[in-house]
Structure 1
């Protein structure tokens, strides 16, 4: 039975959202959410990285990161999946409570039920790539191997 998630306020799987307030240290900086980290990585080596990192809310970080008037790094399409994987892995390695929720899903299919995102989510008609769900399942497999 697939597990669908989307909004960070939904219990118990809202913690799978990149907007959930589960901060972590990565690249020697503290990130309030995985959304902050992901969006900021589009601008490594520029002042925009820090502006996004300091955004008050994940929605603000997302809007800044999606601003195409800013100079997006040239290799973004090649590295974005790896960036997401690093952020999600660090988030769930940092927080035991949400790690337990992720591990409790066993082998179930995880689907980001985003009606507006056909890449990270399943999209409006369910035919999207669901890359965030796939990333969570990859991280779950790593965490299952690390569990005693």
Structure 2
């Protein structure tokens, strides 16, 4: 009974010994031209499903690549921007020259200041936060 059903096959789908294929063959198209007018063949459906999945995988890969590129660009931009937090405090000192030197060196090393622009900003900060009597001392230490 099973053998006779397999030989007759189904009307909508082919259950015979034909092998499912992703690509359409010309023989299959010729033999089932009347059925293909009403219903697409299994291989056509399978091919469409594979194509859709491939397109989806390509889209996902492109989205992932774009995401990675955006993150790199954000990191690149943020590396160029330095945020330096400075806290001014009143301090009594027996050796202001040495205290200024230690403070400046600590700020430069902690914040990895190397650019002339960053060093100038640090100097301007020290000049603005200290009274005029210390300006010449600050400039001397900064020059060293």
TM-score (normalised: structure 1) = 0.20
Higher helix share goes to which structure?
Answer: 2
Q: Which has more radius of gyration?
A: 2
Higher strand share goes to which structure?
Answer: 1
TM-score (normalised: structure 2) = 0.20
Which has the bigger relative contact order, CA under 8 A and spacing at least 6? 1
